[in-house]
Amino acid sequence: LQKVKNDLEMVLSTVQSKNKKLREDLKREQQWHVEQLQIVDVLTGIEEEMKNQVVQFSEKRAFQELKNKMLKLRTYKEELLNALGEFLEEHFPLPEEDGSAKKKKKNSSEEPAVELITLHEILEILINKLMSTPHEPYLTISDSFWPPYIELLLRYGIALRHPEDPNRIRLEAFHQ
């Protein structure tokens, strides 16, 4: 009986020692679990911040790309307008330059009262009028517009006459 008692005390002591060790392990594991939860919370916060930064970065990048495209379009527009201007200056000079505008009377010393404008300037005026006042794009034909240029624009469908007033024209709205 004494031997059984000693054996049981030894088993009790061993079990108590194991329980104590298991409690310490449990406490350590719980502490580790709490630390892991804190790390997860911090990482989740960082992830949200990164997502916001990525969205902001992608928005900034998209804005920058749009800005670059607009710059390229403006450059291309300028190149087109310059090419158009050069073409018009070469092929449609001012009427006075080639002498075909007005037949000057012999013995007449008076200068023409109105300075004629180039086809390039006429087109510029029509474009600006259409863009600035799309609700009223008509331009009144003045004496400074050379009639053959106006006829050229009308004949080729670049400009249209006002339905009620033949002295007014507008640029055909190609952008619509």
Give Cα 52 distance to the centre of its chain: 23
Q: Tokens 């400009």 correspond to what residue?
A: 159
What is the domain count for the chain? 2
Over the stretch 27-80, which tens digit does the pLDDT of each residue have? 999 999 999 999 999 999 999 998 888 778 788 888 999 999 999 999 998 999
End-to-end CA distance of the chain: 111
> Same domain for 81 and 158?
no
Q: What is the CA radius of gyration of the chain?
A: 44
Give the Cα separation of 90 and 79 in Å (integer).
16
> Same domain for 124 and 88?
no
**Residue numbers of the domain that contains 142:** 119-171
Q: What is the pTM of this model?
A: 0.52
CB 171, CB 157: distance < 8 Å? no
> Same domain for 3 and 61?
yes
Q: Is residue 100 part of a domain?
A: no
Q: Is residue 155 part of a domain?
A: yes
Residues 6+ apart with CB under 8 A from 124: none
Over the stretch 104-115, which tens digit does the pLDDT of each residue have? 444 444 455 678
Q: Tokens 């003045």 correspond to what residue?
A: 142
Q: Is residue 137 part of a domain?
A: yes
Last residue of a domain, one of 52, 76, 92: 92
Last residue of a domain, one of 92, 110, 144: 92
> Same domain for 77 and 156?
no
